[in-house]
Structure 1
């Protein structure tokens, strides 16, 4: 019988989760310091403003959390035979894609929701995902300003806890009628095709939040029911989707392409192109069906 692993056989899950908690809350300390213009902990330098000749608080925060997470995963865990893919390291000139071929891989987004971070909003997050053979197994979404650490383990379940380790219950909404569902949408990515699709689907209400992790957390809390991503000139990347995907699936929700196929990670360009739909799962198939009908009739070239 095949065992569906969520961590390598040599790794003890409880030990791994304890380390992820430490790294997550350390990341929260760093991001919140930069967000408030304070001196960051752990020896990271206070950011310069762009006017002072620096790269600004976002770049400084991204790189600090990136360094913290990668060094923690490399140095504080005995198991070493996994890749680490981060949004930040993928930008480096020395990055070599063909070296990232191991079955186990961490996918990191040190700061998801950059514009919310800059605007002083609470809707930014840290994404940490562990994938195995291109499929998500563990998803961590940290929302520092809400004091929420969301943890999802495929086949086990999902929960969120505060800095004191107190676990909290959550529940999806009971909304089933598509016309009553609450969509959670991006504040800054509203291309015309998406607007037309949403007009066709006729959801009951739309809430706008920046970070994908924060969007999915709002679905788990029952505040929203569905999230739709539609790539345009650019596509979201693995680090945008992997942790939220693992989290909502572990909780019993669904995250797929509009045609119902699964998201695959570490594929071409690390892109997640097309129409992606995450929901509480109770009418996911119906949403996907209506979306595919829209593309077939109104935007057939989008499916090519």
Structure 2
């Protein structure tokens, strides 16, 4: 890199090693809970639901959350940022943006149902947001030993995948462009009745299902799929679902917007990322958004994009 980007007064070269270690620690914790083995770092085992008032997945959530928060505090004491985690969101007043120029948005376990069902399609999300937009994102896929990292700054953007040994592999978007060739990645667990007619209207190919938004975006980054559409209202994904995957996708040269072309905004006072959201490898993004907006005008004219 020509220069070392600085975030909240901390150079990227000092930030990334800590984030990497926290992510791989989180992978070890989650895999232990998933397999019923003793978690590392002294976190308590949960042998069955009856052994603890919390479910095993809650224990895994909370253990990773504690590890991340304590890791940030230890490595960066006094750093001028605030941390919002899905597990600690209740401590913040609803309907009001958090007063922070720099905000970490964490999801210790994205894809809870997949974690419980043993599909392996769960993730950990870490995103640094500056003035409502992500500038750094990490998406950890523990069962694939993949850590996707995206960095955005004024001079350049870069994204890559790392193994536990630190070996890097590049993003490999597909070369598919025509709508009929584009392969969507869809949700295993969350479906809106309007999604199927929307996908039919877009004229894309048959899709594949993946758990976790991070897992869906990673499928685009690997070139296995080309687009992901989130269509929802009250049950919309939240800031912590979208911020890290979006950061990595944008840093790789992809796109993630509302169907009307407007950007996703974070820490607005409403954690929901509602509407018709489209993530893609970027090449066909504008055409996809325009087609989706036209289709939604017929499918549900009152649906906010």
Q: How does 1:266-277 map to 2 (within 5 A)?
A: 266-277=267-278
State how far apart, in whole Å, the 2-side matches of 1:161 and 1:53 are. 35
User: Which whole-Å deviations, capped at 9, do the CAs of 1:158-200 have from their partners, x for residues lacking one?
Assistant: 0011111111123100000011100000011122111111121
Q: CA RMSD in A?
A: 1.8
Return closer, same or farther for 1:99/1:258 CA change in 2, 3 Å cut-off: closer
State how far apart, in whole Å, the 2-side matches of 1:242 and 1:233 are. 18
Q: 2:143 maps to which residue?
A: 145
Structure 1 runs not aligned, ≥5 long: none
Q: How does 1:1-304 map to 2 (within 5 A)?
A: 7-8=7-8, 10-91=9-90, 94-96=91-93, 100-154=98-152, 155-303=156-304
State how far apart, in whole Å, the 2-side matches of 1:79 and 1:195 are. 48
Contact 2:159 2:248 in 1 (8 A): yes
Greater mean alpha carbon deviation, residues 232-241 or residues 31-40: 232-241
Structure 2 runs not aligned, ≥5 long: none
User: Which whole-Å deviations, capped at 9, do the CAs of 1:235-287 have from their partners, x for residues lacking one?
Assistant: 11000000000000000000000100001100132111101100000000010
User: Which whole-Å deviations, capped at 9, do the CAs of 1:34-54 have from their partners, x for residues lacking one?
Assistant: 000011011100024223343
State how far apart, in whole Å, the 2-side matches of 1:255 and 1:161 are. 22
User: Which whole-Å deviations, capped at 9, do the CAs of 1:202-229 have from their partners, x for residues lacking one?
Assistant: 2112010010001101101000000000
Structure-1-length-normalised TM-score: 0.94
Contact 1:48 1:56 in 2 (8 A): no
Q: After TM superposition, which residue ranges in structure 1, 4 or more long, deviate above 4 angstroms?
A: none
State how far apart, in whole Å, the 2-side matches of 1:298 and 1:221 are. 32
Contact 1:6 1:137 in 2 (8 A): no
* Count of aligned residue pairs for this structure pair: 299
